[in-house]
Amino acid sequence: MKIIDNINDLKNEVKSLIGPIGLVPTMGALHDGHKSLIDRAVKENDNVIVSIFVNPIQFGANEDLDKYPRTLEQDVKLCQNAGVKIVFAPKVDEMYGTDKNNLTLICPPYSAVDKLCGKSRVGHFDGVCSVVAKLFNLSKAQKAYFGQKDAQQLFIIQKMVKDLDFDIEIVPCPIVREADNLALSSRNRYLNEEERKLALNISKSLFEAKKMYEMGIKETNKIIDNSLNLMQGLEVEYIEFVDKNTFEFQQNLNDNTIMLIAAKTPISNTRLIDNINLCTNF
């Protein structure tokens, strides 16, 4: 496995690769959720590139850019053990130069970002799309792997690929959960014992909502009330329902409905997101 930190070396190495290339874009602090993406990529491609880059242009003011966990040494070991061919771990100036306020950005459609995470994190998805497009271009990958926990991000990246005719397949991968159903996230390491217990109520409310839907309860207000009761102690940012194919808000729930939650913990102010398909876990 090669560890590369500059663009020219990555380009040269990519030219020498034989066979299909799979890309797993990450911000590091890798956990079993990331490993599930990497394992699938290794299974489906002759060559796998994992990018490890904490992308500053997707963080807003007062977000956790400075404290975001950086564990490159452990991440590299995980990648090596998993059979990754290249770890691309550039510095910020390598990716964006020194004038980061004068970048060409890819801005996804307003209808896709003016809701959910995009509403509270203005400009976040511009940064996501821009760095992902750059990684697509540099890696020359035929497939890229993304987790379904970040459902809005996944939808937006799929739309970007379709709208801009990227020659790459986006492979959605299932949410990976701990034994108690907490969705794996690099930010979980911020949580103290009390907050982690509270955080479990996010996934609990989602699985309860799925049970309610399967019992024939399709009124969003009833499901939301139940979720709010379960998540007392957390600062709930949103509980929403969207169509998985269009990401339009839904009042009338059906088998295409995704329920999404974002909430913050009371002490560390850690923002956690999770979702579930009310019909099947897709």
pTM confidence score: 0.96
Q: Which residues contact 163 (CB under 8 A, 6 or more apart)?
A: none
Return the percentage of the chain with pLDDT > 90, whole number.
94
Find the mean pLDDT for residues 33-55: 98
CA angle 205, 211, 212 (to 5 degrees): 85
Return the percentage of the chain with pLDDT > 70, whole number.
99
- 250-279 as b/e, with b when 16 or more CB fall inside 10 Å? beebeeebbbbbbbebeeeebbbbbbbbbb
Q: What is the DSSP string of 130-154?
A: HHHHHHHHHHT-SEEEEETTSHHHH
Residues 95-112: tens digit of each pLDDT: 999 887 889 999 999 989
Residues comprising the chain, all counted: 282
**So which residues are the catalytic ones?**
34
Distance between CA atoms of residues 159 and 40, nearest Å: 22
Residues 216-249: tens digit of each pLDDT: 998 999 999 999 999 999 999 999 999 999 999 9
Yes or no: say if 259 and 281 are a contact pair by the CB < 8 Å rule: no
Residues 10-25: tens digit of each pLDDT: 999 999 999 999 999 9
Phi, psi of 147 (to 5 degrees): -80, 150
Confidence of residue 113 (pLDDT cuts 50, 70, 90): very high
Residues 50-108: tens digit of each pLDDT: 999 999 999 988 899 999 999 999 999 999 999 999 999 999 999 999 887 889 999 99
| Mean pLDDT over each residue of the chain, to the nearest integer | 96
Distance between CA atoms of residues 277 and 6, nearest Å: 40
Edge-to-edge strand list for the sheet holding 169-173: 2-4, 86-88, 47-52, 21-26, 143-147, 169-173
Residue 66 confidence (pLDDT): 93
Distance between CA atoms of residues 235 and 241, nearest Å: 18
Residue 62 confidence (pLDDT): 84
Residues 191-218: tens digit of each pLDDT: 999 999 999 999 999 999 999 999 999 8
Residue 282 confidence (pLDDT): 42
